[in-house]
């Protein structure tokens, strides 16, 4: 499920001097924007991105991806991506309000709950969604960067204020500790004489 309709901007970060190959750009976009539901059988966005980094990028492209992830970790999505998210969220809000108006009786919501939903302003709705997306971009960028270059991730986190750093470190550590470890090849032992 892609949030906010379909965010069409590729990576949430302005192009840098070194463009990423289309496959890496697509994997980064997918990783940042797709929310996998529990039990949903789908691609594995984190694994796809990491595999492309490890097996398909040259040194310059790896640096470009690391730079993009550092920028996303530090600042979140760029202004163009934020504008696209805001546009999609406005449409989503209008559709949700129309749905609530047309289906009040079928929803089974208490009057209090329905009143709260109807009283939420479009600006509140947009701001809440934008903050959630920014947070997700930063968390996912931190997770990916920590997986491919822990030192770069630590350096980027050190530039954040203490509260932000602590919150992001907690999320990153939890995510990386839940990732399956890639088994290492067994080392061949010399035969006994």
The per-residue pLDDT for range 14-28, each reduced to its tens digit, is: 444 358 899 999 999
Q: Residue 177 above 60 pLDDT?
A: yes
**What is the pLDDT at residue 126?**
93
As a whole number, mean pLDDT of residues 2-23 equals: 54
User: What rounded mean pLDDT belongs to the chain?
Assistant: 82
Question: Cα(160)–Cα(74) distance, rounded to whole angstroms?
Answer: 7
Surface-to-core class of residue 143, CB atoms within 10 Å of its CB (0-12 exposed, 13-18 middle, 19+ buried): buried
Bigger pLDDT: 164 vs 42: 164
As a whole number, mean pLDDT of residues 122-139 equals: 94
Bigger pLDDT: 16 vs 59: 59
**What is the pLDDT at residue 35?**
73
Please tell me whether residue 100 adopts helix, strand or coil conformation: helix
Rounded (5°) CA angle 161-162-163 = 95
How far, CA to CA in Å, does 125 sit from each of 7, 39, 72, 131?
17, 28, 23, 10
* Neighbour count for residue 83 (Cβ, 10 Å): 12
Tell me the whole-structure pTM to 2 decimals. Answer: 0.75
| Residue that the structure tokens 């463009």 belong to | 19
**What is the pLDDT at residue 102?**
81
Q: Residue 65 above 80 pLDDT?
A: yes
| Res. 11 pLDDT band, cuts 50 70 90 | very low
Residue 122 tokens, joined: 């479009």
**What is the pLDDT at residue 5?**
41
As a whole number, mean pLDDT of residues 59-85 equals: 94
Bigger pLDDT: 143 vs 101: 143
**What is the pLDDT at residue 105?**
72
């Amino acid at each position: 499920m892609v949030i906010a309709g379909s965010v069409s901007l590729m990576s949430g970060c302005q192009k840098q001097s070194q463009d990423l190959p289309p496959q890496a750009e697509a994997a980064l976009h997918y990783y940042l924007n797709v929310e996998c539901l529990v039990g949903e059988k789908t691609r594995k966005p984190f694994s796809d991105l990491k595999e492309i980094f490890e097996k398909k990028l040259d040194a310059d492209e790896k640096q470009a991806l690391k730079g993009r992830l550092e920028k996303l970790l530090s600042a979140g999505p760029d202004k163009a991506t934020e504008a696209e998210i805001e546009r999609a969220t406005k449409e989503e809000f209008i559709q949700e309000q129309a749905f609530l108006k047309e289906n009040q009786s079928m929803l089974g919501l208490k009057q209090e709950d329905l009143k709260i939903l109807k009283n939420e302003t479009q600006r509140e709705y947009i701001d809440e969604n934008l903050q959630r997306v920014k947070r997700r971009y930063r968390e996912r960028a931190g997770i990916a960067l920590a997986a491919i270059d822990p030192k770069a991730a630590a350096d980027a986190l050190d530039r954040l204020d203490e509260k932000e750093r602590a919150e992001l470190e907690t999320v990153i550590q939890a995510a990386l500790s839940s990732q399956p470890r890639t088994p290492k090849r067994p080392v061949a032992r010399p035969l006994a004489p």
